Structure 1
Amino acid sequence: MAYSIGEVSKRLGITVDTIRYYDKENLIPFVKRDDAGRRKFTDNDMHLMEMIMCLKNAGVPVAEIATFVALRKNGDKSLDERYQLLQDHEKNLKSKISDLQDTLAYLQFKKWYYQTAVNAGTEKIHYEHESNEVHPHILDEYIKVLKKRGDTDSIDRLNNQRRK
């Protein structure tokens, strides 16, 4: 089956301009053209486009995606290199995800901080007695709330942030 650039755009949820950019950057060198010069995508091309989008969403630079695509041309000779490239980016992505989860845990702590202040009508509930300084054990108070909820993942993330 052959797909037009418009069909690919709709199926993958990306713009026609993005597909043309990928073509210009030689990320989709296997796509054939009809007699009128229009791109005709096969199911195999669609799989490659999905791979490109996956790598792009993982934060892989276009130049490295182009390297990956170029390696495909070498067939089995480049299997190890392609595998290693994916393994490296998987490691980077997992690290980013972990960092984002740490950030989310801290953001949720700050939301709790402000929600309790809003409920009390004042931020002073979190201050040291007769000062404008936040009580140094305020995070411990939030961790008690998390323990009641059984949210050990957030507790671990917040404790890891403390150690950094």
Structure 2
Amino acid sequence: MNVKEASILTGVSTDTIRYYEKEGLIPVIERNNVGNREIDEKIVRRINFAKQMRAAGMAVKALKEYVDLVDDAEDNSEQQKQLLNDQLTEMEERRDDIQFAINHLKYKLEHYDDHMRATEDELHELEKK
């Protein structure tokens, strides 16, 4: 399939696919006899993986490091697992921070009429001074 078809299939823009290739997040895409990129199922899987990890906040550098380990012929499964584990820990910390903020907002909404409105008004008055 070509880049446009892969873009439609994965939901990743053609520009992003080219960026992933340039940064080494996906393998170099072979070209057919007229110079068009030919994307196979392996590359589609890599595009989807990169998309998921980037959406979850994984840095390009960390993703590149992981992909390089996967593509390396040597057995480096422990390094791969460590990198994935580190990333999981970071994602869980971000999730916990987001959950704390969600809980705080829910509390504010649930208690807005009780006392949050008065507290917000008080803060607004202090800002005026």
Q: State the TM-score, normalizing by the size of structure 1.
A: 0.66
1:30 deviates by 4.2
| AA at the equivalent of 2:110 | W
Larger RCO (CA under 8 A, 6+ residues apart): 2
> Which of 16, 30, 53 lines up with 1:55 in the alignment?
53
Matches of 2:34 and 2:77 in 1, distance apart?
35
Instruction: List gaps (5 residues or longer) in structure 1.
Output: 127-131, 134-164
Structure 1 segments (4+ residues) deviating >2 Å: none
Letter in 2 for 1:68: Y
Matches within 5 A, 1:95-134: 95-114=93-112, 116=113, 123-124=117-118
Provide Cα deviations, 1:43-63, integer angstroms capped at 9, x if missing partner: 111111111112211211112
User: How many positions carry a matched residue from both structures?
Assistant: 122
User: Percent identical across equivalent pairs?
Assistant: 26
The two structures have a TM-score, normalised by structure 2, of 0.81
Mark the CA change 1:123 to 1:99 in structure 2 (over 3 Å): closer, same or farther.
closer
Give the distance between the partners of 2:35 and 2:11, measured in 1 at CA.
23
CA displacement at 1:31 relative to structure 2:
2.5
Higher alpha-carbon Rg: 1
Which runs of no fewer than 5 residues in structure 2 stay unpaired?
124-129
CA distance in 2, matches of 1:77, 1:61: 24
